[in-house]
Amino acid sequence: MNYGPAIIYNVPGRTAQDLQPEIVLELAKHPNFAGVKECAGHERIKGYADKGLLCWSGNDDEAHDSVHKYGGHGVISVTSNVIPAVMKRLMDK
């Protein structure tokens, strides 16, 4: 059976588990890997972006800088589910 694209969620604050870059980079070799939602900070996002991996910020408070300064591709956001227009404006400005 073939399962479709998958985004890895690395959310140590909620899971008490931090998927280290070595693990994510190994998983990225799988054909169904689509990218990673990363909650371990800007430097981690920059590291993935520098390696060509799609990486979305998982921290609403860091999302703008993650995209505009560290090469992130966007945000997978709790806030955007509640007030999407406001979050879009925050990300765009």
Residue pLDDT tens, the chain, 93 long: 778 899 999 999 999 999 999 999 999 999 999 999 999 999 999 999 999 999 999 999 999 999 999 999 999 998 988 999 999 998 988
Rg (CA), the chain: 13
Let me know if residue 18 belongs to a domain.
Answer: yes
Let me know if residue 1 belongs to a domain.
Answer: no
Tell me if 27 sits within 8 A of 33, measured CB to CB: yes
Distance, in Å, from the CA atom of 32 to the CA atom of 44, rounded to the nearest integer, reads 21
Cite the active site residues. Answer: 9, 37
Specify the pLDDT at position 93: 81
CB within 8 A of 87, min separation 6: which ones? 60, 75, 77, 79, 80
Specify the pLDDT at position 68: 96
User: Is the pTM above the cut of 0.75?
Assistant: yes
Total structural domains within the chain? 1
Distance, in Å, from the CA atom of 56 to the CA atom of 53, rounded to the nearest integer, reads 10
Domain hosting residue 62, numbered range: 6-92
Let me know if residue 55 belongs to a domain.
Answer: yes
